[in-house]
Amino acid sequence: MPQMTSSAARVIDPILTAIARSVAVQSAPVANLLFPRVDVGARGGRIVSFSNEHFKLYVTSRAPGANTKRVEFGYSSDAFALVDYSLEGSVPIELLQEASAVPGLDLAQGAIMHVRSLQDIEREKQCADLALNAASYAASNKVTLAGTDQWSDPGSDPFGDITAAREAIRSQIGVRPNVMVLGPKVVTALANHPDVLARLRGGAGADSTDRAPATLVELARVFDLQQVVEGGAIYHNGTDFVDIWGTYALLAYTIPRSMAAMGSPSYGYTYQLSGYPIAEEQYYDRNTKTWYFPVTDARQPVLAGASAGFLITGASA
C-alpha cells in the first residue's frame, strides 16, 4: 500500500484543515453562542475577567497641565492552560474501489467531518458542564423551580421568572441578557404554555386552546431577547441517550466573537490556539489496512463572568 507523497499531503492537508474549521463553526451551537472562540497565540496565559470597575462613575474633567486619568478594560485573574484534543478518522481499504488507491478527497472529508462532529459534541458537553454548574453562580443569579412552579405546569409564571432573571443580570452588569438557552423539554413547555400563547395569539387572558406552539423566534420576541436557542445536543452515556442541556433555562449576556476578540465583557469565552483545529498528515497502518486522518484541537472554555448569567434549574418537569 503506497503512502501519500509529501507533495500530495501538502495539497490535501490545508483543504482538510479548512473543512475541519468549517465544521467547528456549524457544530456546537450553544457552546459557540455562550462561549465564543477567542484566538490566543500560546497554550497558557491569564483569563480576562471583568468586575464592577467597568461600571464606576469616573470624573474625567482635568485642569490644564494635569494628568489624564487612565482606565483598563478587563483584568487578569486565573491562569488558563489549553488542552490538546486529538481524534482520528479512519477509512479501511475495503471502502476503496481499488486496494492500492489512496483515499480521495470525498472519503477524507467524510472522515474529518465525522471526527469534528464528535469533537464538537465533547466541546458542547464541556461548555454545558460549566454553564449548568449552580455552584458557579451567586444566590442572586440562580433559582430552582419545582412542582407547580415548573413551566410544564399551566399555572406557572414563566414571565415572572424570566423578568426577575433579566433584572438580576441588569442590576449587576448594566445591560440586560440578550440570549436564552433552553433544554428540549423546556422548549416544549414554554412554547405550549398558555400564558405565552395568549400573549402571542390574542392578548393576555385569551384562550390558547388548539393554537400552534410558539416558535423560538416568537419566544425571543415575547421575552424581549435577541435570541432563544434550543440546546438540542445529545450524547450516549453507554446505556441511554442524554440531553446535554437537560431541563435547564439559562439567560446570559454574550457577544459575537469579533467583539470578544477586543476584550469586551461577556458571559464566557473559549480560548483557542490560533490556527486550530488542524488536520494532520494522514497515514496508512498495514496491520489494520486502514488510512487514518488525525485532527487536533487546542482549547479551554472559561466562564468569564457568572454575573452576566442566570441559571434556572428544573424549568420543566
Structural domains of the chain, with CATH? 6-54+74-313 (3.90.1690.10)
Query: Rounded to whole angstroms, how far apart are CA atoms 55 and 294?
Result: 46
Residue 176, pLDDT > 70, answer: yes
- Indicate yes or no: pTM above 0.85: no
What DSSP line would sit under 43-88, residue for residue? SEEEEEE--GGGG--------TTPPPP---S-EEEEEEE-EEEEEE
Residue 206, pLDDT > 60, answer: no
Residue 258, pLDDT > 70, answer: no
* % pLDDT > 70, the chain: 76
pLDDT for residue 221: 96
Helix H or strand E encompassing 243? strand 241-243
> pLDDT for 14-42, tens place per residue?
655 665 555 544 457 899 899 988 888 88
pLDDT for residue 138: 96
| Residue 13's pLDDT band (cuts 50, 70, 90) | low
In this prediction, residues 131-150 reach a mean pLDDT of 98
| Residue 116's pLDDT band (cuts 50, 70, 90) | confident
- Helix, strand, coil in percent for the chain, rounding step 5: 35, 25, 40
> pLDDT for 210-238, tens place per residue?
678 999 999 999 999 999 999 999 998 89
How many CB atoms neighbour CB 37 within 10 A?
19
Q: Are 177 and 308 in contact (CB under 8 A)?
A: yes
| Residue 55's pLDDT band (cuts 50, 70, 90) | low
Amino acid at 251: L
